[in-house]
Structure 1
Amino acid sequence: MPNTSFELLGHSILPGKGMLLNLDIAKLHTGTKIEVPIIVQRGKKPGPVLLITGGIHGNEVNGVEIVRKLISKKYNRPVSGTVICIPVINIFGFLNQARPFPDGRDLNRMFPGSPRGSLASRFAYHLIKEIAPVVDYCIDYHTGGESRFNAPQTRINKGDEESMELAKVFGSPFIVLANTREKSFREALAKMGKKVLLFEGGKSLDINEKVTQTGIAGALRVMDHLGIRDFSEELELMEGKVLNPITIKSSQWVRAKYSGMFHPFVALGAKVKKGDLLGSVSDPFGNFERSIKATFTGHVICINQSPIINQGDAILHISQE
């Protein structure tokens, strides 16, 4: 991109400058505006445009925390190119500590949206039409749903070599080859030719320091790799650098055969072998306790941390080797 004025949402941003913008496209029934703050920082030199997002699901606060820290520590200020941060896409879901948009829909299943659709669909439309066209790369931060705690992992499309290179640079413990979900933000951006890293780590309504640090370090590595800014000194001080992430091509959920109290016996990220004891389910009255054993070998990439489960609930997500 030439080192000239950068246009976004009707505003002109000069090289070396920053601006706080608001994406304002709809109102609630109370007349309250849906305004989503967008923080834009330009470098003095030309370079790629990186979009960093969190909170597309309003209760996934760990992603919001990662983007917040990138901004508060001024890591979002590039030397080359442009960094656009949207810490909370679903601002009303965040206020309500709930996953969906105010109209009850999952915003991440509404893309590319419609100017005449539901509230969530209209918002998705404006995000794709007004923000996405200027973007080259995107890091989208998520967490596990409800009580399901995800090991830090980067999800990319199968067969996308450039995204695989970026995922390795990001350095989360696991790279999951997962095709895009229909009508998701990642699918919409991919169809526009944008490269997207979807980071999953932690669980809803929770902030985990290890997950946060993994997400921050990954963003710095990607920005360093893209020539946006040299973060070698910052990365040298950070712990837990992963040089060889484990690539997961397929995985399977272990589901509860009984309702009761769930006791996991394995650690998140651990490798288990067929026949290993994974945990147990017991009733609250001491009448029974049923063991859960691995039926295949793989790594534990998610654990349901709910102490009470129902028959059929997903309790452990394990890669298949």
Structure 2
Amino acid sequence: MNKIITIKLKDKFKLTDFKRGEKHRVYVNMSENALSLPWQVPVIVIRGAKKGKILGLTAALHGDELNGISTIFKLIEEIDPTKLTGTLVLLPICNVPGYLSKTRHFSDNVDLNRIMPGSPTGSSSNQYAHMLTTKILSKFHCMLDLHTASYGRVNSLYIRADLDNEECRTLAYLQNPQIIVKKYDENGTLRSWANENGIPAITIEIGNPNAFQHSLIDETLEGILNTMRHFEMIDGEVKDMVANATVVDRSYWIYSSKGGIVDVMPNLTDHVKEGEVIAHIYDVFGSIKEKVRSDRSGIVIGRNVSPHCHAGSRLVHLGFDEIEPMPEEIPGNDEFDDL
């Protein structure tokens, strides 16, 4: 017989309202929509029997980035609250309007991960972001923000973290990624807001949008459990999970200069050499218009998978060690749009 789960509605979110040693499921009211009703963010609180760290996990800040949802669901099943020290606060769907419409952006077509922490008197997306950060996320001691590639692209399992920040570096090295990018915190991102407010945070990119990829989800879950062992939230040996990961200084996207039908050559985590052909762009009659070459050696973090190609389309997301300065590039030519 299935256990009946009580789901409550909250206007204010106070961790002291939740009984220790139990799992709690609530909706928390955000800003109001056009029905004069609040958007309701689902939150799972697993409050341990003993006091300890408050670890927050956020997913689907972009509404079409779904691997983090399954990661959180699997984590819920793994944790016994009677044996937990500290508290897990889990947000499987941060961007409720985007999730409902299967789109990256909020209902006003704004990217929430560009405007954090929002504003109490701004646009609809700004007010939503403000309530999300002030009501819930400000309660965290540390945070793992779960993302995927954006539409038309695929990602490896990789991390963005400010490795100059000791606490963020520790969080990154506790995970189980294929690649780590030593990435500064971009202004307006959730990670930037968290770190500026004393909440150590990293971004975990779990593969591709609009799908569940259980192999990557399971590897991510392993890193999260390792993080919990490090904070002594659960028992077990803490492992050096990053031993086999490639750590790069920075990354950027290589663009096409022609439009047409594109075939990107390298696979995820492949190493490419300077001058290597990474894509063929064909016209609609099958003739090659452009052979796109890598302008430096590096590792493939993400890649385009859509054959439809305008001039200026992003093709390969390349990670590299910064031995020499970046060449002159198109403004904004980094991986920021996949955040």
TM-score, structure 2 normalization? 0.84
Conserved 8 A contact 1:168-1:245: no
Q: What residue in structure 2 maps to residue 163 of structure 1?
A: 168
The 10-residue stretch of structure 1 (216-225 or 49-58) with the greater mean CA deviation from structure 2: 216-225
Q: Gaps (5+ residues) in structure 1?
A: 1-7, 236-240
* Structure 2 residue identity aligned to 1:226: F
Alpha carbons of structure 1 residues 256 and 75: separation in structure 2 relative to 1, 3 Å? farther
Q: What residue in structure 1 maps to residue 64 of structure 2?
A: 59
- Distance in 2 separating the partners of 1:214 and 1:74: 14
Q: Which of 152, 157, 171 is residue 157 of structure 2 equivalent to?
A: 152
1:180-224 Cα offsets, whole Å, 9 max, x none, are: 222221111111101102111323223223322222122111112
Conserved 8 A contact 1:75-1:220: no
Q: What residue in structure 2 maps to residue 100 of structure 1?
A: 105
Q: Gaps (5+ residues) in structure 2?
A: 1-11, 322-339
Q: What residue in structure 2 maps to residue 113 of structure 1?
A: 118
TM-score, structure 1 normalization? 0.89
Q: What residue in structure 2 maps to residue 188 of structure 1?
A: 193
1:226 Cα offset (Å): 1.3
* Structure 2 residue identity aligned to 1:257: S
- Distance in 2 separating the partners of 1:272 and 1:150: 16
* Structure 2 residue identity aligned to 1:212: I
Q: How does 1:1-321 map to 2 (within 5 A)?
A: 9-10=13-14, 12-71=17-76, 73-75=77-79, 77=81, 79-230=84-235, 243-288=243-288, 290-321=290-321
Identity of aligned residues (%): 27
Aligned residues: 307
Superposition RMSD in Å: 2.1
- Distance in 1 separating the partners of 2:123 and 2:98: 16
Conserved 8 A contact 2:59-2:94: yes
Conserved 8 A contact 1:111-1:183: yes
* Structure 2 residue identity aligned to 1:100: H
The 10-residue stretch of structure 1 (270-279 or 94-103) with the greater mean CA deviation from structure 2: 270-279
The 10-residue stretch of structure 1 (77-86 or 134-143) with the greater mean CA deviation from structure 2: 77-86
Conserved 8 A contact 1:255-1:313: yes
- Distance in 2 separating the partners of 1:124 and 1:207: 26
Alpha carbons of structure 1 residues 99 and 76: separation in structure 2 relative to 1, 3 Å? farther
